Amino acid sequence: MDRYLYIKRFKIGIVILCVDLELEAKHRDKLLQERETYKV
């Protein structure tokens, strides 16, 4: 049972990590776009 909970928690952690990376990438893209706008 403990092993099952550990695996479940591990999978949830991976999902959260992926979501965080995706949000960070989107945020970075937005910042880059703003920077490009200011250059012009």
Locate the domains of the chain by residue range.
1-40
pLDDT tens over the chain, length 40 residues: 689 999 999 999 999 999 999 999 999 999 989 888 876 6
CA distance 38 to 1: 56
Complete DSSP assignment for 7-26 = HHHHHHHHHHHHHHHHHHHH
pLDDT of 40 reads: 60
